[in-house]
A and B are shown apart, each in its own frame.
Chain A
Amino acid sequence: MASLKELKDRIGSVKSTQKITKAKQMVAAAKLRKAQAAAEAARPYAERLASVMAALASKVSGDDAPKLLAGTGSDKRHLLVVVNTDKGLCGGLNANLVRAAANKARELQAAGKDVEFYLVGKKGRAPLKRNFPNQIGTHFDTSDVRYPGFEEAAKIAEELVEMYDGGKFDVAHLVYPTFKSALAQDPTIDQIIPVPAPASAADSDAVVEYEPGEEEILEELLPRYVKTQIFGALLEIAASEQGASMTAMDNATRNAGDLINKLTIQYNRSRQAAITTELIEIIAGAEAL
């Protein structure tokens, strides 16, 4: 049986933990609103770009298509771009992402493909390195910026396109969470390179004039599309991180509360027991006289 002092200290420590988790929960709730707003603000650009892409891609096809659209002609080497958070305290978010990425990697390996990882964010590094020690390629650090934004997305995309042009891989997949609600963030795997042919848009009869030419525009558009996809993933991870963090911290706060109640009851019982023993001793002593 723990002594009274020990119990008291324990209660104090759990209380301060609860304060921290509660604070983190409120911070996450505030940041979540911001992250969601950012994700929503980015949607028009992505939608327009996708519709333009669809219109163009249906026109330029066959042998003229740029490599980014048509592929390298082989699908042996796969690159998994895994987007994780930089900070913890967000429940199972990163674990789920890593699991999804690892499953995909095993699946590809089982099919006889080579798999390499390109990691964004700190938290996926250790677990993936443990499981795939020789396949970790590049790691892109986002921890030095507060809110990874379009600049970071552009840098990642440029690096990926460079690697692609340099023949380092044939197919790239992007692994990121889709933010559904504060309770649910589902890991999603999308192919980003070669750019999957978008579902052909409803062809309007209007003859569109292109300047310079369709191919030139498409050539410029494709890297931009990759950038937008990665930017979208960065926004999703930001929103997911805050959402998951809010939920996890809410649970933690509640658990701490339960623990405090339990410990307080235990503390009071021990105190009562101590008082009773003391009383019995005094009475017994008095009776003996």
Chain B
Amino acid sequence: MALHFELVTPAKLVRSEDVHMVVVPGAEGEFGVLEGHAPFMSTIRDGAVQVYKTEGGTPEEIEVRGGFAEVGDNGLTVLAEHVEG
């Protein structure tokens, strides 16, 4: 039970890993993505992407700016223009 999560910026591939859940700050509200999510695409606003490595664990927060998120058969891909840190 794992969701493949990729975070990509123009400069590099920041993350590519299997996680439990990711909460993305979508343009119309935050949404959480678990494994097996229906295909979905959304623009994102500036904010923190929360990555839950395990169920119930503390989330790791990654600040992103500008971009969009895509959920497909192969997991969640966040294309961000800029990633903090």
Please determine whether chains A and B interact with each other in the same assembly.
yes
Asked whether A45 and B40 contact (CB < 8 A) given A204-B73, A211-B28, the answer is no
Q: How far is the CA of A153 from the CA of B9 in the complex (A)?
A: 14
Residues of chain B within 8 A (CB-CB) of A207 are: 38-39
CB-based contact A42/B12 at 8 Å: yes
CB-based contact B10/A212 at 8 Å: no
Does A44 sit at the interface, judged by CB under 8 A? Answer: yes
Q: How far is the CA of A288 from the CA of B54 in the complex (A)?
A: 109
Per-position contact with B for A206-222: 1 when CB-CB < 8 Å, else 0? 11111110001100110
Does B81 sit at the interface, judged by CB under 8 A? Answer: yes
Near A by CB (< 8 A), chain B positions 50-85 give: 66-68, 70, 72-73, 77, 79, 81-82
Q: How far is the CA of A46 from the CA of B9 in the complex (A)?
A: 9
CB-based contact A208/B41 at 8 Å: yes
Residues of chain A within 8 A (CB-CB) of B82 are: 150
Asked whether A212 and B43 contact (CB < 8 A) given A44-B8, A45-B9, A231-B10, the answer is yes
Does A260 sit at the interface, judged by CB under 8 A? Answer: no
- Neighbour of A48 across the interface among B40, B66, B77, CB < 8 A: B77
Closest residue of chain A to B67, judged by CB? A224
CB-based contact A41/B79 at 8 Å: no
CB-based contact B40/A208 at 8 Å: yes
Q: Which A residues fall within an 8 A CB radius of B? A: 38, 41-42, 44-46, 48-49, 52, 149-150, 153-154, 204, 206-212, 216-217, 220-221, 224, 227-228, 231
- In the A-B complex, the 3 residue pairs with the smallest Cβ-Cβ separation, listed nearest first, are A211-B42, A41-B12, A208-B39
Q: Which B residues fall within an 8 A CB radius of A? A: 6, 8-13, 26-28, 38-43, 66-68, 70, 72-73, 77, 79, 81-82
What are some 14 contacts across the A-B interface (CB < 8 A)? A42-B10, A48-B79, A52-B41, A52-B68, A204-B73, A207-B38, A210-B40, A211-B41, A211-B42, A217-B41, A220-B43, A220-B68, A224-B66, A224-B81
